[in-house]
């Protein structure tokens, strides 16, 4: 086995593998593993091998995991997290990391055999020793008492009466909702959803994506006397709670009530919602919420805002930017998460109406740049075009408590009836 920083060798290897270590103790174990199994293998190369072998761990590279959050600012968020569910998220990112290069497949197969950790040709990284994983299916969060949302929940849907992920999820959670559809699809939806939960739009096939439906929902909520309303995409499969670096599904309506309760404490929150589960690594330290950023796919909207949905693409981002530019706040919750399914992989919705048979990524980005040229630019990432927004412009917009609210808040945690149980049955 050899140490290498030779670029030419790296270009001709069969495969590379990142090894993460949580502690110095784990590095010592791996050093013993090297001495016992790899010293005579000339087709395996390890960067910083000598340093690992001699336990000079400070010279081993650490793989940096990108984060939107500066942990020095945690106290800034924590001071608002009063009378709310317990939230603890430790930093479990790797202590140190190294890269192993395999010149031949035989070398890789030998490494797998002696390592005794299940890996494949597609594996990019592992933890040593093998990290203990807890299945998100092993436990669920329930509520007692059940707390129903104060504001109406609308699902906007088109062409998805068969999949109807969000509807099925809310049914399992016993959360009241309305599904908003176009008239030509009433027959299909009414076969699988209670007719009392269906609201039929007075228009169809306008070719403007979901914008007309979103604005109709806003007016419907106002007409029915509500101060706020929820609007959900129709491709959300389950909601989750993140706590103690573990994420489990929630099967009660309490999370909507909790979010509403928090938002109603402040004068200037325009939009709130939940982060996507797949954008939230369990091992990193993050606050219970982000302040003044974008909210996608599940939005609690203040009906008194002097705005409405507009455009054709990136409508969530555009609405959030307009409220932020007018000194309102947005809240993106990290303690509760939404299991959003990627839009482009599902038929129906905007997939059929706006995205079908074309790659409009550049057009999507340009449309947002045209709306907000002062803070949006186009970048090339993951082999396609994306928009990039500078949210730092809004970091000084502070939350403002309603008069007399802060003094009444309990300084201790409040679980609002949530409790964790071992999963049983079909849930």
> Is 254 contained in some domain?
yes
Q: Do residue 238 and residue 148 come from a single domain?
A: yes
> Is 212 contained in some domain?
yes
Q: Do residue 111 and residue 163 come from a single domain?
A: no
Domain termination site, one of 92, 127, 162: 127
Per residue, what are the HEC states of 329-373?
A: EEEEEEEEEEEECCHHHCCCHHHHHHHCCCCCHHHHHHHHHHHCC
Buried b (16+ CB within 10 A) or exposed e, 44-55: bbbbbbebbbee
> Is 185 contained in some domain?
yes
Q: Do residue 111 and residue 225 come from a single domain?
A: no
Q: Do residue 71 and residue 147 come from a single domain?
A: no
Is-above-0.85 flag for pTM?
A: no
CATH classification at residue 214: 3.90.550
**CA distance linking residue 169 with residue 184, whole number of Å:** 24
Model pLDDT, residue 69: 47
Q: Do residue 106 and residue 146 come from a single domain?
A: no
What DSSP letter does each residue of 210-247 carry, written as one string?
A: THHHHHHHHHHHHHTT-SEEEEE-S-EEEEEEEETTEE
Q: Do residue 26 and residue 143 come from a single domain?
A: no
If phi over 0 gives left and psi between -120 and 50 gives alpha, with beta otherwise, what is residue 68? alpha
> Is 100 contained in some domain?
yes
Q: Do residue 169 and residue 30 come from a single domain?
A: no
pLDDT tens-place string over residues 167-182: 999 999 999 999 999 9
Number of domains in the chain: 2
CA-based angle 156:159:162, to the nearest 5?
100
Q: Do residue 319 and residue 399 come from a single domain?
A: yes
CA-based angle 99:100:106, to the nearest 5?
160
3-state helix, strand, coil in the chain (%, to 5): 30, 25, 45
> Is 133 contained in some domain?
no
Q: Do residue 175 and residue 203 come from a single domain?
A: yes
Count CA within 13 A, CB hemisphere, residue 28: 3
Residue 170 domain boundaries: 139-422
What DSSP letter does each residue of 365-425 carry, written as one string?
A: HHHHHHH-TTTEEEEEETTEEEEEE-GGGGTT----BPTTTGGGS-SS---TTEEEEE--T
Domain termination site, one of 99, 127, 155: 127
Beta bridge partners of 272: 300, 331
Q: Do residue 103 and residue 214 come from a single domain?
A: no
Domain termination site, one of 127, 149, 170: 127
> Is 256 contained in some domain?
yes
Quickly state the pLDDT bin for 131 (edges 50, 70, 90): confident
Quickly state the pLDDT bin for 328 (edges 50, 70, 90): very high
> Is 210 contained in some domain?
yes
Q: Do residue 178 and residue 83 come from a single domain?
A: no
Helices (H) and strands (E) in the chain — how many of each?
A: 12, 18
pLDDT tens-place string over residues 25-76: 888 888 888 888 887 787 887 765 555 555 554 545 544 434 444 556 566 7
- Are the beta carbons of 324 and 372 closer than 8 angstroms? no
**CA distance linking residue 41 with residue 111, whole number of Å:** 10
pLDDT tens-place string over residues 339-393: 999 755 556 555 455 545 446 778 888 999 999 999 999 888 778 888 899 999 9
> Is 267 contained in some domain?
yes
Q: Do residue 111 and residue 232 come from a single domain?
A: no
């Amino acid at each position: 086995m050899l140490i290498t920083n030779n670029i030419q060798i790296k270009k001709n290897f069969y495969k590379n593998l990142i090894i993460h270590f949580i502690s110095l103790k784990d590095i010592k174990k791996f050093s013993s593993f090297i001495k016992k199994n790899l010293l005579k293998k000339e087709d395996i190369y390890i960067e910083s091998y000598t340093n690992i072998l001699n336990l000079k761990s400070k010279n081993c590279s650490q793989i940096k995991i990108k984060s939107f959050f500066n942990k020095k600012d945690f106290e800034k968020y924590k001071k608002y997290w009063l009378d709310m569910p317990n939230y603890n998220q430790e930093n479990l990112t790797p202590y140190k990391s190294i890269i192993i290069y395999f010149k031949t497949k035989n070398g890789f197969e030998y490494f797998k055999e002696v390592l005794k950790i299940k890996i494949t040709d597609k594996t990019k990284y592992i933890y040593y020793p093998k990290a203990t994983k807890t299945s998100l299916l092993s436990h669920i969060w329930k509520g007692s008492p059940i707390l129903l949302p104060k504001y109406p929940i609308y699902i906007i849907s088109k062409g998805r009466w068969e999949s109807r992920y969000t509807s099925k999820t809310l049914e399992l959670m016993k959360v009241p909702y309305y599904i908003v559809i176009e008239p030509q699809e009433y027959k299909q939806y009414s076969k699988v959803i209670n007719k009392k939960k269906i609201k039929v739009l007075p228009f169809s096939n306008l070719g403007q994506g979901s914008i007309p439906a979103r604005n109709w929902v806003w007016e419907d909520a106002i007409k029915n006397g509500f101060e706020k309303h929820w609007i959900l995409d129709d491709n959300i499969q389950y909601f989750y709670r993140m706590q103690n670096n573990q994420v489990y599904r929630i099967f009660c309506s309490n999370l909507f009530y909790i979010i509403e309760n928090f938002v109603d404490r402040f004068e200037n929150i325009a939009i709130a919602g939940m982060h996507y589960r797949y954008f939230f690594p369990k091992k990193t330290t993050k606050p219970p919420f982000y302040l003044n950023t974008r909210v996608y796919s599940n939005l609690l909207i203040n009906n008194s805002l002097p705005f409405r949905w507009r455009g054709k693409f990136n409508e969530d981002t555009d609405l959030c930017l307009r409220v932020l530019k007018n000194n309102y706040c947005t809240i993106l919750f990290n303690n509760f998460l939404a299991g959003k399914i990627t839009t482009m992989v599902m038929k129906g919705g905007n997939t059929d109406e706006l995205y079908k048979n074309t790659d409009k990524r550049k057009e999507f980005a340009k449309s947002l740049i045209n709306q907000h040229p002062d803070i949006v630019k186009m970048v090339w990432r993951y082999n396609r075009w994306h928009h990039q927004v500078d949210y730092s412009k809004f970091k000084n917009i502070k939350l403002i408590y309603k008069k007399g609210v802060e003094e009444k808040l309990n300084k201790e945690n409040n679980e609002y009836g949530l409790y964790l149980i071992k999963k049983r049955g079909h849930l």
